[in-house]
Structure 1
Amino acid sequence: MWYDRPRYVFIEFCVEDSVDVKVDLDDYKVIFSCKNADGVPLYNKIHFYERVNSNDSQNKRSGRSITLFVRKWKEKVQWPRLTKEDIKPAWLFVDFDNWRDWEGDEEVEAAMVEHYAEMLQKVTKKGPPPAMDDLDVST
């Protein structure tokens, strides 16, 4: 599975109880190999849609998967697909749980900033203190 962000592309290889994990990443491709819990060897080579910064990329292994945090060479450029080839491999899925239209996020974020700025202006406008002569002082 994979999803796109302004600075990174995230790739998750879902292999439960993997052993002998090898991730060879360069600026144009990743070669992934491991054995699953049954000892079956798995291998995958992905040529990236665009160049990446392999020196500023990482991977993390958990009991259920291996996740790659791949730094884009050109930030804030949306990738329409993960692979260089314009064919979607049958084994590759978009991680819709983590996918966001980050161009839309920038507009939402800008609207939120504007909203908070308006709220701060209302709060910081100081007028005369309220009259308290209408309060009942009897106990």
Structure 2
Amino acid sequence: MQPATGKWYDRREAVFIEFCIEDSKDVQVKFDKTKLDFSCVGGTDNMEHHNQVELFESIDPNGSKHKRTDRSVFCCLRKAETGKAWPRLTKEKTKLNWLSVDFNNWKDWEDDSDEELSSFDRFSEVHDILRFFDHYKTQMSHINSFVCVLVSFFLKMMNNMGGEDDLPDVGGAEDEESADSDDEKMPDLE
């Protein structure tokens, strides 16, 4: 048994950790107020993995979630005290060789006072969409069904970004100079 490779990042309301194990099965994630316990079988060699982390601060075990994908297991640890930055994931200043910072997702949010949608909410939204796809992917036999689902997904995402009021004004669209030849009156039929 060996630890799974993981990377983490901090946000205002939650801490995120991704265990990078392909084709994982028998995934077990236990959220405790001060600990995270992760185990699974996975990888090309079907090896057993186990990680136990004594967390820097307390979390809300009931508000924490995880999502398994084909390439990893993504965990969202809901902070017990939101708005407090975690300088590291672990309580002790010990360097864990399996853990690194996810610099692609790292953000200095302490100075950012108006996050539109918290990462935790975004995780929940993506989690719901992925659950929807997982549930219906075996039932979709026609390409049209897939296209409909994809369109509804993009409409939902567009809805979250703002309505028509947010669109820029395109000047000159109503000028007579830009009138189209289709705008002319049609002659009567004889």
Give SS of 1:93's match: strand
- The structure where helix makes up a greater share of residues is 2
Residue 54 (1) aligns with residue 61 (2): yes
Identify which of 80, 83, 88 aligns with 1:81. Answer: 88
1:103 positional shift: 1.6
Please list the CA deviations of residues 1-54 of structure 1 after superposition, one character each: whole Å capped at 9, or x if unmatched: 000000000010000011111111111101111111322101110010001000
Identify which of 21, 41, 46 aligns with 1:15. Answer: 21
Q: Residue 107 and residue 33 in structure 1: after superposition, are their counterparts in 2 closer, same or farther (change >3 A)?
A: closer
Unaligned 5+ residue runs, structure 2? 1-6, 117-190
Number of aligned positions between the proteins: 109
Give SS of 1:55's match: helix
1:88 positional shift: 1.8
Name 1:100's counterpart in structure 2. 107
Residue 4 (1) aligns with residue 26 (2): no
Give SS of 2:56's match: coil
Identify which of 68, 71, 75 aligns with 2:75. Answer: 68
Identify which of 30, 34, 52 aligns with 1:28. Answer: 34
Q: Residue 63 and residue 105 in structure 1: after superposition, are their counterparts in 2 closer, same or farther (change >3 A)?
A: same
1:108 positional shift: 9.7
Give SS of 1:52's match: coil
1:104 positional shift: 2.8
- Could you tell me how far apart the structure 2 residues matched to 1:108 and 1:75 are? 13
CA RMSD of aligned residues (A): 1.6
Q: Residue 43 and residue 104 in structure 1: after superposition, are their counterparts in 2 closer, same or farther (change >3 A)?
A: same
Q: Residue 107 and residue 32 in structure 1: after superposition, are their counterparts in 2 closer, same or farther (change >3 A)?
A: closer
Name 2:122's counterpart in structure 1. none
Q: Residue 52 and residue 15 in structure 1: after superposition, are their counterparts in 2 closer, same or farther (change >3 A)?
A: same
- The structure where strand makes up a greater share of residues is 1
- Could you tell me how far apart the structure 2 residues matched to 1:86 and 1:108 are? 29
TM-score (norm 1): 0.74
1:107 positional shift: 8.0
Letter in structure 2 aligned against 1:74: E
Sequence identity of aligned pairs in percent?
48
Give SS of 1:97's match: coil
Letter in structure 1 aligned against 2:18: E
Give SS of 1:89's match: coil
Name 1:39's counterpart in structure 2. 46
